[in-house]
Amino acid sequence: MTLSPIIEAQQLKELLGEEKLIIIDATGTQDALNKYLIKHIHGALYIDQDTELADIKPNVADGGRHPLPTPAVFCQILTRLGISTDSHVVVYDEKNASSSASRFWWMMLAAGHKKIQVLNGGLMAAEKAGLPTDNAFVAPKSATPYLFDAWKLPIVGMQDVAKATNSQQHTIIDVRDAYRYNGESEPIDLIAGHIPGAINIPYSENLGHDGLYLSPETLKVKYLPLVEKYGAENIIVHCGSGVTACHTLLAMAYAGLSIPALYVGSWSEWSRNSMPLILKQ
């Protein structure tokens, strides 16, 4: 039986105490470590978005705001966390998986890890379900070195995206909020606007009013027409820096669809490299 990429808080509660279970707090917002030290799910290990889920360069034009680390570096991080190839890993954040939980999920899946799930609703859902929380820093257990040598999910670079902008066989999904896509304002990067030909499907639309992912059936209705028209292999998903794009890749996987390509550099790289831009009309 294939493991769902999403796990409900009540399901996680029933798994507590299992030997192979490792819970990861991937809150990637500002002051994330302090938030972890104030409150996290009991036993959860902390992972840092900027230093462990990315290899940030001095020049953002070189790969965007959150470039991927190399597989070798990520192997070291997984080993530090005590994660083995047979570990059952559950990751969460405080932003309904849009902070860094979905990015960590994508990286684990791209490393070839089989038992990796995202907690639906994150920390808030965990508390509502009665999972224990505390503020104790958790030291990882020792594990044998985790080894993989290449990312196993599709990744595209800036030139691949440039080719896709001129291809009727490809489509590019921009998951940022509509006001950023429309060029009305840009809170993080230098220029507001979007990649030519990209369509806007904000990642926030993957969630219901309760902050939980929509059902797999609803998400399938949402994304299947694009997969049927272009094929998952011809769909590119991006955001501002390659983090929240994974929220939509997770939604598509939850819907039972093949996972499209991730443009890791995203708008933060594209907009800094004299590439064609669609600005506010």
Would you list the domain boundaries of the chain?
6-134, 155-270
Residue 33, CA atoms < 13 Å, CB-side half-sphere: 7
Q: Taking Cα atoms as reference points, which of 110, 88, 113, 94 lies closest to residue 49?
A: 94
Residue 207 CB neighbour total at 10 angstroms: 19
Rg (CA), the chain: 18
Q: What is the pLDDT of residues 184-204, one digit of tens each?
A: 999 999 999 999 999 999 999
Indicate the fold that domain 6-134 takes in CATH. Oxidized Rhodanese; domain 1 (3.40.250)
Torsion, Cα 195 199 205 206, to 10 degrees, reads: -90
Q: Are 123 and 236 in contact, with CB atoms under 8 Å apart?
A: no
Extract the tokens encoding 231.
Answer: 């094929």
Taking alpha carbons only, the member of 246, 73, 63 closest to residue 154 is 246
Q: Is 11 helix (H, G, I), strand (E, B) or coil?
A: helix
Does this model's pTM top 0.85? My answer is: yes
The residues annotated with a catalytic role in the active site are 239
What is the pLDDT tens value at each position of the chain, 281 positions in all?
689 999 999 999 999 999 999 999 999 888 999 999 999 999 999 999 999 999 999 999 999 999 999 999 999 999 999 999 999 999 999 999 998 999 999 999 999 999 999 999 999 999 999 999 999 989 998 889 999 999 999 999 999 999 999 999 999 999 999 999 999 999 999 999 999 999 999 999 999 999 999 999 999 999 999 999 999 999 999 999 999 999 999 999 999 999 999 999 999 999 999 999 999 85
The answer to whether the CB of 240 falls within 8 A of the CB of 246 is no
Rounded (5°) CA angle 193-121-8: 135
In the chain, what are the helix, strand and coil shares in percent, each to the nearest 5?
Answer: 35, 15, 50
Output the CATH code of domain 155-270. Answer: 3.40.250.10
Domains 6-134 and 155-270 share a fold: yes
**75: closest CA among 35, 111, 37?**
111
User: Could you give phi then psi for residue 206, rounded to 5 degrees?
Assistant: -80, -10
Cα dihedral: 77, 18, 117, 212 (round 10) = -130
